[in-house]
Structure 1
Amino acid sequence: MFVLTDLHPHVEAWQGASKKSENVRFVAEGVDAADAPRDLVERATTTTTTTTTTGEAGRRRRGDEGSSGDEKKEKKKVMRLFSLAFHHFDDELAEGILRNTLETSDGFGIFELQSRTISSFITIFLFGPLLGIISLYYFWNRPLHLFFTYVVPLIPFCVVFDGYISSLRTRTPEEVEALLRKANGGRRLEGWRFMSGQEVHTWPTGWMSWVICVRE
């Protein structure tokens, strides 16, 4: 089950996503990731199942008479997911989010499509000419969009500039691990497994970096 939350929820977009899958839910109110409400965590991790026992007479009649139900609550684990998001937080906020995660969750995953590497900067730069190639096909009926792509290339500039800033703000796994230790009072994490790696998302220069930490 995926539960979507944000300090400023994108309710309209999330409604569309939740209608496409019964495994996607969302919280319409703002949620501070550094101070996740405990009742929200409880709702996300507790499922209730009902076991029905039907008496012999009820079984014969295929009815409800003679049947009883027992509710059983099952506790599930919490995995927090930060997709293209963790670089938006400054160190103080990121530390608070990690501290709250250690207190309320069983793991977390950080996924970023950019990094502070030459290959990442090359990939982002190529988005500029790529927009020039595909915009006419996708936005042929939007004159203003085409104007700010081809006549005054403001859109390609903003996309590339935003990508560069995101790259500069993206932390290395070592920096995330250092924040974790700081969030844990400067102590080494005990009982947690820290993993990191990279996967190609746009050959040959685009790499996705990931950090996953789980409670053992």
Structure 2
Amino acid sequence: MSPKKMPRLHLFEIEDFPWYPAVIREGQTDFLRFMMQTFDVFRAVIPHLREAQQKSDRHHLVDFCSGGGGSMLLIRKHLKQDSKTPFRATLSDLYPNIKAFEYVQKASNGDIDFKTTPVDAANPPADTPQGFWTIFNGFHHFRPAQAQQILATAVERKTPIGIFEPIDKSLFQIIINTIVLLVLMLVLTPFVRPFKWSRLLFTYLVPVIPLCTIWDGFVSVLRLYTPKDLRQMVSAIPETEAYEWKIGKARHMFGTVIYLIGYSKPAKLPM
């Protein structure tokens, strides 16, 4: 089924509920971090992100909806390969996975730090660093009005923003997010770090983590915003013409990344 025929349905994702046990939510986000690192899913958008950083001259990545933080480790690896600018990033989440954030901070040799208190991307604190705002694999969690408000807030604060979703809106993606993901969870969970006995317990003996991850993965596809949806959002934002918007899909060996990148247009020199 193509994106034109698949409407956006904002069904519930279990990990969004505040009552959801932290040990299960962290089991999900830890596994997704591991998958992001293993398959390097965001490498296809690195050229777009690097170009936007250079044109906006903003190099501190301020990440919302960070989950287990694994996406930023990948971004760091690629951006540090051929850049003379020191890498710096800050992770945040509405339900911060502190142990995972500490693991990422250590793995990055301190290049990546984090917020310990909850941060809502739909209502970022006034003291949130301008930097370069990013959301990896999290924009679909927001309803259309909230999603558009996130973009509008970035424009209002003259802050560059990048949205990256490592999935496509298709029947094939639903199959990947259910059958294939389940098999990978059952095979790869013992290799996820940092090691937790609770992760094994709730994967194999009481399989709550796989079942909830499969449901949330299925719903993620239905919630996904297509490039057409994203273009409609930015067209309705006040002062959107002051921003350079790049929206599209970047393909890699394992699938597609839908992306939106926006940053202020350079000021025109007087004639």
TM-score, structure 2 normalization: 0.54
What CA distance in whole angstroms lies between the structure 2 residues aligned with 1:116 and 1:181? 22
- Does the Cα contact within 8 Å between 1:34 and 1:96 map onto a contact in 2? yes
Determine helix, strand or coil for the equivalent of 1:97: helix
Query: Deviation string for 1:52-104 (max 9, x for gaps)?
Result: xxxxxxxxxxxxxxxxxxxxxxxxxx211101110111112112211111122
- CA distance in 2: counterparts of 1:163 and 1:33, whole angstroms: 21
* SS in structure 2 at match of 1:189: helix
Cα distance between partner residues in 2 of 1:12 and 1:136: 17
Mapped to 2, the partners of 1:99 and 1:92 lie a distance apart of: 10
- The DSSP-based 3-state class of the residue aligned with 2:127 is helix
Amino acid paired to 2:235: R
| Letter of the structure 2 residue corresponding to residue 164 of structure 1 | F
**2:170 partner letter:** T
- Report the AA paired with residue 30 of structure 1: P
Residue aligned with 1:183, SS? coil
| Runs of 4+ with deviation above 6 angstroms | 136-139
- Structure 1 residue 135, shift from structure 2 partner: 5.5
**Letter of the aligned partner of 1:215 in structure 2?**
S
Contact 1:14 1:26 in 2 (8 A): yes
State the percentage of identical aligned residues: 23
Q: Answer yes or no: is 1:86 the counterpart of 2:108.
A: no
Q: Which runs of 5+ in 2 are unaligned?
A: 1-87, 266-271
Letter in 2 for 1:88: H
Deviations 1:19-67 (A, max 9, x none): 33332122222333233334332xxx5xxxxxxxxxxxxxxxxxxxxxx
The reply to whether residue 98 of structure 1 matches residue 151 of structure 2 is yes
Larger radius of gyration: 1
**Higher mean C-alpha displacement, 85-94 vs 9-18:** 9-18
Matched, 1:10 2:87: no
Higher strand share: 1
Alpha-carbon displacement from aligned partner over 1:151-193 (angstroms, at most 9, x marks no partner)? xxx6544332221100000101121121222232xx6533423
- Separation in 2 of the partners of 1:144 and 1:171? 31
Shift in alpha-carbon separation, 1:38–1:144, aligned structure 2, 3 A: closer
Residues 120 and 207 in structure 1, CA contact (< 8 A), matched pair in contact too: no
Higher RCO structure (Cα 8 Å, ≥6 apart): 2
> SS of the counterpart of 1:39?
coil
Q: Which residue of 1 aligns with 2:205?
A: 147
Alignment RMSD = 2.9
Q: Tell me whether 1:167 sits opposite 2:225 in the alignment.
A: no
Please state whether the residue corresponding to 1:110 is helix, strand or coil.
Answer: strand
Amino acid corresponding to residue 169 of structure 1 in structure 2: R
**Structure 1 residues not aligned, in runs of 5+:** 46-77
Report the secondary structure of 2:99's partner residue: helix
> Which residue in the other structure is 2:116 paired with?
28
Specify whether residues 104 and 11 from structure 1 end up closer, same or farther in structure 2 by C-alpha distance, changes over 3 A only.
farther
CA contact (8 A) 1:115 1:171 kept: no
Determine the C-alpha separation between the residues in 1 that align with 2:132 and 2:175: 33
Q: Secondary structure at the match of 2:169?
A: coil
- Equivalent residues, number: 171
Amino acid of the residue matched to residue 264 of structure 2? R
Paired residues of 1:5 and 1:31 also in contact (CA < 8 A): yes
Contact 1:79 1:107 in 2 (8 A): yes
